[in-house]
Amino acid sequence: MTEQAPQAVAHLRFVRTAPRKLRRVADAIRGKSVREALVLLKFAEVFAAEPIEKLVRSAVANAGNNHNMNADELYIARITVDGGPGGRFTKRVDPRAQGRAYFKRKRLSHVTVIVSETPPAKRPRKSAGASVQAAQATRRAAPGAGPAAKSPRKKAGARKRAASAKGA
């Protein structure tokens, strides 16, 4: 029998976000080191990254406190996003024509993160879905430098005021 590396687990249940939206973020960090995953989650411009970031931090804390694992050398061994009870707890009604009503399904999710000190044996396959990227800082060009330094086009109202000021 092979010795299994120690693992720390953290669960997040009944998240008020649809599983499809959380899976997009989970796929982005699956198999990465915890440090790399936390940086990606911190600067991701996706609202679903915040609960997963908290969950990863909780798993790291569990690893350090309960299993005496080194927090700097952890990897995300497994992350799963499962659907919670779909519409049983949060019912919303959408009014329709002729007095009818449609129920909206407000989906809930359960997320589980497992971290370990050994990197995963196989790299996760790239999914065809949308990717999660870190926010890129936009810099403004210095005045007089390159094509971006051209003056912005004036709006029609500003042109009329400028023309009337010249004529007067």
- How would DSSP label each residue in the chain? -PPPPPEEEEEEEEESS-HHHHHHHHHHHTTSBHHHHHHHHHHB--TTHHHHHHHHHHHHHHHHHHH---GGG-EEEEEEEEE--SSSS-EEEEE-GGG-EEEEE---EEEEEEEESSPPSSPPPPPSS----BPPPP-PPPTT-SGGGSPPPPPHHHHHHHHHHHH-
Residue 70 lies in a domain: yes
Looking up residue 73, the CATH number of its domain turns out to be 3.90.470.10
For the question of whether the overall pTM of this predicted structure is more than 0.75, the answer is no
At residue 165, the pLDDT reads: 72
Residue 166 lies in a domain: no
pLDDT tens for residues 67-105?
A: 999 988 999 999 999 998 876 667 788 999 999 998 888
Residue 48 lies in a domain: yes
* Structural domain count of the chain: 1
Residue 74 lies in a domain: yes
Residue 163 lies in a domain: no
At residue 120, the pLDDT reads: 81
